[in-house]
Each structure stands twice: as structure tokens, then as C-alpha cells.
Structure 1
Amino acid sequence: MITEIMEEVLVTTGGSKGIGKGIIAAYLANGTSIFSIARTVNTELTESGVTQITLDLTQTNLIEATLINIFSLLDKAKLRKITLINNAGTLGTIAPLDRLNQDIIEKTILLNTTVPFILSSLFIHYFKDWTIEKSIINITSGAALKPYFGWSVYCSSKAAINMLTQTIAAEQADAKYAVKALAIAPGVVDTDMQTEIRQSNKSNFKDIERFIALKEDGALNDAVTVGKKIFEMDNDKSLPSGSILRIEGN
């Protein structure tokens, strides 16, 4: 008797570059079908068979229709597992709070916090009766646990993501077909965000020299390696829902 292969699906945000691109590479290598929602399209990913949806996620009024369109393409009878990774995020403007304007504060919190809340809510609701393995992975940061001068909005928005992860776990604990939630801090990764950090003015970011030294010492994590670690954690059944995890350096 031939057993039909059950499909695994990943829906991720911010997959066109940086950590998101590393995540996609890891899941692709393991035969996962991938939907990436991002502001830009990466032609390399298109050639790899990734379905890319172009969307500025800060247009929150468009999120629900976009997700439902993706979900409607899935065959319930063939699906074994689905993962949502809330990866898209922004550092915003690096400066003390009193130097930030309202627009920057709103946009940073919107992308880093509000969008993952909306996506997670829609994901949990849509699949609540599906008897498949379901997981939400929120990309957090060590900055969620440690205050940095000039990062008030980023630190606070990532702290909210940690609490979102833990409250999802609490709410899903008694659900019939529960969603597992993990928050994963990728460490300091060699991405465009790190380039932006190293170009900061020291008056706005007092820890800049530490981040410059990490680059010079080759101590930054690689996005591809980070992607592999995230895939491993997603498939590690020993990790309890609600865990706040960190990928250690190279």
C-alpha cells in the first residue's frame, strides 16, 4: 500500500531578505511549501518555487484577505503541519524616546507588534478545528529582555512579542487542537539591520562600539545558520509551548 506524502506548509513574513531569507532556505531544504509575505519580491526565491505575496504589512486592513487567500489554497486532507513565522520587523529610528516623532513610534510598533498579533489571531481562528500540527514562531530579540539606550520602541515592541507568545500558549493549553507558540531570538545576525546599527550616531546609541566589534571579530550569526536552527526548534517536540528561546552565537 502506498501512503500519500502529507504536506508541510510555512507562511512567513519578511522572507525576501535577511533572517527571513535564511528561514526560507532551511524550510525549502526540508521540502516545505512556502508562502512569503513581504514588501519586496526576491527573484531567487521565485525560481525556488516560493509563492511570494507583495504586501506592506502596515496596511493592516489588507492582512485578513491576504491570509485567507493563502489558506484557501491548502488541501485539508493532505496537510500534516503548518507554521506561521512572524519575522518581519524594523528597528525604527535609533534615538532616545524624546527625539522620536509620533509617526516613527506608531509605524515601528505597528509592524513589530500589532501585525504579529493580527496574523496570530487569524491563524489560530482559521485552523482551530484542523487536526494537524500547528505552530506560531515569533522572532523576538535579546533586546526584549535588556534595555538599550536609543532602542526604547524596539525593546518594548519585542517584549510584547514575548508576552504574546506566552499568552497564546496559556490560551491554547486546553484547546482541542492546540497551536504551539515559540519566541526565538536569533542573536546578532549579519543583516542590513546590523549595518544600520553600526552607522548610528553614538549620541543616539551608546552601545554602538560593541556592535562594531562583533562585526570586526566575526562574531555575528549567519542568516542561513539561524534559519536552520529555527527549523530545528520548530520541529523539536521537547520544547514546551510558550518557550522564549535564543540562538547562541557561532
Structure 2
Amino acid sequence: MHITLLTGASRGMGLAMARQLLSPDRLLLCLSRRTNAELQAEADALGAPLLQWPVDLTEAEPVARRLGEWLADQVPARVHSATLINNAGLIPAVAPLEAVPATEVAQALRVGLEAPMLLTGAFLAATARWVNQGWRGPRKVLNISSGLGRYPMASQAPYCAAKAGLDHFTRCAALDQAQQLHGARLVSLAPGVIDTDMQVHLRGADAATFPDRARFVELQRGGQLTPPDAAAARVLAWLDRPDFGQHPVADVRDA
């Protein structure tokens, strides 16, 4: 049985990934703000094991603790591989930093950076105990980043900062794992420009405070937005690459 853990699976590319991951030989655990009855129905029809935890990733410490305890209860001998996909993110008001409510800044950093760090730590610690017991299956962490973590943009400070932190903590954790026998492999992957609610949010921003608004409007008009299903397929294909983890920070457009 493969075990895959996925955050932010309630809509957009996250939901598309969840649907594509459903399989009778995979236990999929989705951590999202809400459960999805349609996804459960699809899983039941396929005979695919699915668990859905409704969680608040702005308070990630108890979620990470619960995840660690859940992994500790698994039987390693029955697990072929273990994968964590940190996909959840949050965009606060599109405005200069001084105009963004402090609560929104804090929530964007908690969901976009703190939660992935805590969940990754819990995942690595729990599965390392499997390795110490002789388990040799592959362990992978895929963090869904963004080009905005690598290139600054006005009125996007919290989101850019969260994604930049995601990239850099992935680099650091990858260095840690490289020092260990049978260490996990980690990648922070930018998925390209996707037709999701985030794009709607950016196109609806005030052009007076968001100078890049026209760029996002033109991306839609020019048909340059990748549908969620196609984006999900490209991201999940990255997990299967033989060189996964060789470059801890990557972009699907570099393939």
C-alpha cells in the first residue's frame, strides 16, 4: 500500500490531485478546511482508501502532532512508499504590506510556511522510525511553491515571503536528509500559472495598488492559464521522475 498525504485538497489543483491520486493500492489522507462528499463517492466507486481530515492549518501544531501519531500507528511492512504533498496556501488582500490586515499576514504565513514545516517535520520524524526498524520504501516530500517565491511582486509580500520560505526550508531539509542513510527526498516545485481562484483574486485586485494586475488579465485573455487537471497531472508526474530530489527547488516548466 502506498500512503500519500495531501493538504489543500478541497478545491482547485489540490482537488484535482486528490482525484488523480485515488487508487485501490493507495491510502490517501487529505487535510483540508472541509471534507468533500463527491471525492468520497469517487473513492468508494474505485475501491480506493480515502481519509479526509477537516483541519485548520492556521493552527498547525495539533494537526502535525495528530499526523505524527497517525503515522506511528501504521505498519511499515504494509507500506510500499510514503509521500507528503504540501499544497495548501492562502492569499491575503492584494495590497501593499502596510495595508494588509495583520491577521491576514499572519494567516498567510502560517498556512503557507509554518504548516508545511511542521507537517514535514512530523512526517520525516515518524517515517524515520520506520527506517530505523528496517523499512526501505521511498519517502518523498513535495512542496507546492510558486514563481512568486523566486521573483518579487508588488502587493504580494506575504504570499511571496511564504513561498520563498517554502523553497529555502526545502533546501535545508534536503541537506539534512542527504546526511542520513535512506534519507527522504524533497522538492519545492513551482506548478506554473494555473486557472484557479487565486487568478480570479489577482484579476479582481485594484490596479492602483497592484501594478501587475494587467499581466494576469492578459494571461487569461491569451489562454495561457493551465487547467487544474492538467496542472495536477504535471505536478504528480514530477513525483515519478527518477531524479526527484536531485534539485530541491524546481519548476514544472523546466522539464
Deviation at 1:180, TM superposition (A): 0.4
1:197 paired with 2:202, answer yes
Partner residue, 1:219: 224
Equivalent of 1:240, from 221, 245, 248?
A: 245
Equivalent runs, 1:164-183 vs 2, <5 Å: 164-183=169-188
Partner residue, 2:47: none
Distance 2:242 2:28 in 1: 21
Cα deviation code 1:53-107 (max 9, x no counterpart): 1011112242134313532553311111111011000111110112122212111
Distance 2:234 2:23 in 1: 13
Give the match's secondary structure for 1:85. Answer: strand
Which runs of 5 or more residues in structure 2 are unaligned?
44-49, 131-135
Deviation at 1:240, TM superposition (A): 3.3
Provide the TM-score with structure 2 as the length reference. Answer: 0.90
* Bigger Cα displacement from structure 2, 203-212 vs 60-69: 60-69
Structure 1 runs of 4+ aligned residues shifted over 6 Å read none
1:230 paired with 2:224, answer no
Partner residue, 1:102: 102
1:25 paired with 2:30, answer no
Deviation at 1:26, TM superposition (A): 2.4
Provide the TM-score with structure 1 as the length reference. Answer: 0.91
* Bigger Cα displacement from structure 2, 120-129 vs 233-242: 233-242
Deviation at 1:31, TM superposition (A): 4.6
Partner residue, 1:15: 9
> Greater RCO between the two (CA within 8 Å, min separation 6)?
1
1:44 paired with 2:49, answer no
Distance 1:112 1:36 in 2: 16
Asked whether the 8 Å contact 1:58–1:111 carries over to 2, the reply is: yes
Give the match's secondary structure for 1:11. Answer: strand
Give the alignment's Cα RMSD to 1 decimal: 1.7
Partner residue, 1:150: 155
Asked whether the 8 Å contact 1:180–1:242 carries over to 2, the reply is: no
Cα deviation code 1:127-185 (max 9, x no counterpart): 11322210000010000111111001111110000001111110010212211000111
Asked whether the 8 Å contact 2:189–2:250 carries over to 1, the reply is: yes
Letter in 1 for 2:232: G
Partner residue, 1:78: 78
Give the match's secondary structure for 1:10. Answer: strand
Asked whether the 8 Å contact 1:93–1:104 carries over to 2, the reply is: yes
Equivalent of 1:207, from 207, 212, 232?
A: 212
1:34 paired with 2:34, answer no
Q: How many residues align?
A: 243
Letter in 2 for 1:76: P
